[in-house]
């Protein structure tokens, strides 16, 4: 292994979250180890879907962007090598691969993981797929499709909590109190790479570097599903959970005795 990588299906219960960042108890468990590979342009909602899916399955949601920003804030060697992401660019493949490998080695990743926009390049992909095969983890490609014009509007309105990571949109999903996180009460801010002058660059990078990777994965002998990014987060989540159950990939978690 490359160094650094270490019956009839019941209709699922409909998950209804009054607020995007509402925490709910894990309601499902994997029938086999899964790696959900989430793809979509910046602002398409893949991070939102990943966080919500993590809440109902207890699979870790691994966002390479969040990992890198955390290392940048902490001034680690990985962070120092990745400052380009703050200017709308990407971190070196070797750095990203190392961070993902370290995260996947943790015990909570054994039953399932949700990878948000990783692998991002063809080099990362060619290194990652053999690792999944050796670990006997089934990859599942999930693509959120959204027009780039809508992507720009969403990114300009997006706000996040640097304390707990909750995501809001001042138009589509505003916090209850302007500028304040519903979850922890900390202040909301605009991500540096969501600033207008960087949005076009991020979209161009996605179209030229990452979308071809998603297309490459779609051509591989793995499951590949698409959802419209124009739907509400709740509908996308419920449709996804329903399809997972239809394919016997998840089952309802057993109830805990009260």
Question: Which sequence spans correspond to the domains of the chain?
Answer: 29-147+199-252
Q: Which residues contact 3 (CB under 8 A, 6 or more apart)?
A: none
CATH number among 3.40.50.300, 3.30.70.360, 3.40.630.30, 3.40.50.720, domain 29-147+199-252: 3.40.50.300
CA angle 141, 198, 167 (to 5 degrees): 55
Specify the higher pLDDT residue, 227 or 198. Answer: 227
Q: From CA 170, how far away is CA 175, in angstroms rounded? A: 7
Mean pLDDT along residues 38-59: 89
Q: Is pLDDT of 185 > 90? A: yes
Q: Per-residue pLDDT for 1 more than 50?
A: no
d(CA 217, CA 204): 20
- Alpha-carbon distance of 27 to 9, in angstroms, equals 15
Secondary structure class of 18 (helix, strand, coil): coil
pLDDT in tens, 62-92: 988 788 878 778 877 776 666 665 555 567 7
Q: Per-residue b/e over 217-245, b at no fewer than 16 CB within 10 Å?
A: beeeeebbeebebeeebeebbbebbebbb
Is the per-residue pLDDT at 146 higher than 60?
yes
Q: Which residue has the higher pLDDT, 15 or 38?
A: 38
Per-residue pLDDT for 169 more than 60? yes
């Amino acid at each position: 292994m490359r160094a650094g990588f270490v019956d009839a299906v019941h209709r699922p219960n409909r998950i209804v979250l009054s607020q995007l960042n509402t925490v709910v108890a894990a309601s499902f468990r994997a029938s086999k180890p899964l790696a959900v590979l989430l793809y979509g342009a910046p602002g398409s909602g893949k991070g939102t879907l990943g966080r919500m899916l993590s809440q109902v399955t207890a699979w870790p949601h691994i966002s390479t962007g969040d990992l890198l920003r955390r290392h940048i804030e902490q001034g680690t060697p990985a962070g120092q090598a990745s400052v380009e992401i703050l200017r709308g660019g990407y971190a070196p493949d070797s750095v990203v691969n190392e961070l993902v490998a370290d995260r996947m080695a943790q015990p909570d990743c054994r039953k399932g993981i949700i990878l948000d926009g990783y692998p991002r390049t063809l080099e990362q992909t060619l290194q990652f797929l053999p690792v999944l095969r050796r670990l006997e983890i089934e990859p599942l490609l999930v693509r959120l499709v959204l027009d780039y014009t809508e992507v720009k509007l969403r990114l300009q309105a997006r706000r996040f909590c640097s304390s707990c990571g909750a995501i809001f949109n001042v138009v589509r999903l505003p916090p209850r109190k302007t500028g304040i996180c519903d979850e922890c009460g900390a202040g909301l801010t605009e991500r540096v790479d969501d600033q207008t002058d960087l949005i076009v660059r991020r979209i161009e990078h996605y179209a030229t570097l990452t979308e071809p990777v998603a297309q490459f994965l779609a051509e591989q002998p793995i499951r590949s599903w698409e959802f419209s990014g124009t739907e509400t987060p709740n509908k996308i989540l419920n449709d996804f959970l329903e399809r997972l159950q239809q394919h016997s990939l998840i089952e309802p978690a057993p109830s805990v005795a009260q």
